[in-house]
Amino acid sequence: MLHLIRRAPRRAVRGFRVHRAEPGFLAATAAFGPLAEETKPLTYYSAWFCPFAHRATLALAHHADVVPYAWEEALGWEQRPPTGDEDLDADDREDFWYHYKSPGLLEANPLGMVPTLVDEDGRVVTESAVCVQFVDELARVRGGSAPPLVDADPFVAARSRCAADKVNRTVCSGYYRVLVRTEDEERKEGFAQILDGLNAFFDDDDASDLNGPFWGGRASPGLPDLVLFPYAYRLYVLEHYRGPDFAVPADFERYRRWYDAMVALDAVARTLPDKDRYLAHVAKYAHGKARSKVGNAVRRGAAAHDYDDDVDGDK
């Protein structure tokens, strides 16, 4: 079931800071396609650095010919003065960074999470994998020219959703475990979790007679590919901050074939954040200074995909 929330049509909000994305990146999102003049664009609350939001960006780029959208950069970082109520020394807290969230995002989604999509009637769709499927279904209804991201065969579609969920529980959670946890043994366990997830991702190759480079041997990417790719693209971060033992082994040939096929797609290439800029951004996590829901959850020992909005709020 799609996660839909109805809200009043958005009013203009003045006086908030806009944190801009990469110059070429925003330009790509402005190319709404043939339906731009006759179809109102979705408002897309996103963040250039967020791998969860990157999933929705990939879906929007894939279906850009029939799903126009207007990007609003809705997350940034800010330092806040200590209140005295923190469970840590105020002197230690001065270098901690917290998410800044735009008023428009908070009006649409009070949880303040990206991606968040809003249509002209104020209807809201949230959660990264749900946004991917929503964009795909919207494109299907509008007669989009790009191949569907979710197969029309219900059994294949069900398998793809299971594969996407497994990515969240292995690669996604393992990524943050390596990046955020401080014990070397925990980091190694997190990386083993990533490698297990990458191997399992291609188990579905055996379930079909297809020989394409993408999940399940498909010739074009689908839901599992879009859920995995934002984290696969960012795995270089782990080697940079945690050392050569945290690099994907060279003998992961099936993974390399998949990765090369993904980055070769024009719709994917247009969405890629600058690697050096992302390294500087993610240093907040690597050095234990970022306070976000995912970071807070992993610090307390939970998996990244099991964050709790109340327990792990940005505090």
Which CATH number characterizes residue 112's domain? 3.40.30.10
* Residue 147 belongs to a domain: no
Same domain (yes/no): 169, 99: no
- Under DSSP, the state recorded for 194 is H
Whole-structure pTM value: 0.82
- Which stretch of DSSP H or E encloses residue 162? helix 154-167
* Residue 311 belongs to a domain: no
* Residue 313 belongs to a domain: no
**Which residue, 112, 142, 172, sits at the end of a domain?**
142
Q: Hey, how many other C-beta atoms are within 10 angstroms of the C-beta on 28?
A: 18
Parallel/antiparallel/unpaired status of strands 123-126 and 4-6: antiparallel
* Residue 33 belongs to a domain: yes
Longest alpha-carbon distance in the chain? 62
Q: How many CA atoms lie within 13 A of 196 on its CB side?
A: 12
For residue 264, is it left (φ>0), alpha (ψ between -120 and 50) or beta? alpha
* Residue 75 belongs to a domain: yes
**What is d(CA 301, CA 304) in angstroms, rounded to the nearest whole number?**
9
Kindly state the average pLDDT of the residues 257-264.
98
Residue type, 28: A
Per-residue pLDDT at 9 exceeds 60 = no
Same domain (yes/no): 167, 293: yes
Label residue 15 by pLDDT band (50, 70, 90).
very low
Give tens-digit pLDDT for 55-90. Answer: 999 999 999 999 999 999 998 877 666 555 555 544
Same domain (yes/no): 40, 136: yes
The answer to whether the beta carbons of residues 75 and 101 sit under 8 Å apart is: yes
Give the count of domains, the chain.
2
Give tens-digit pLDDT for 99-133. Answer: 689 999 999 999 999 999 999 999 999 999 999 99
pLDDT at 72: 97
Same domain (yes/no): 159, 138: no
Same domain (yes/no): 71, 210: no
pLDDT at 77: 73
Per-residue pLDDT at 293 exceeds 80 = no
Same domain (yes/no): 161, 296: yes
Same domain (yes/no): 131, 226: no
* Residue 312 belongs to a domain: no
* Residue 314 belongs to a domain: no
Same domain (yes/no): 121, 163: no
Same domain (yes/no): 191, 133: no
Domain membership of residue 267 as a residue range: 154-306
Same domain (yes/no): 121, 228: no
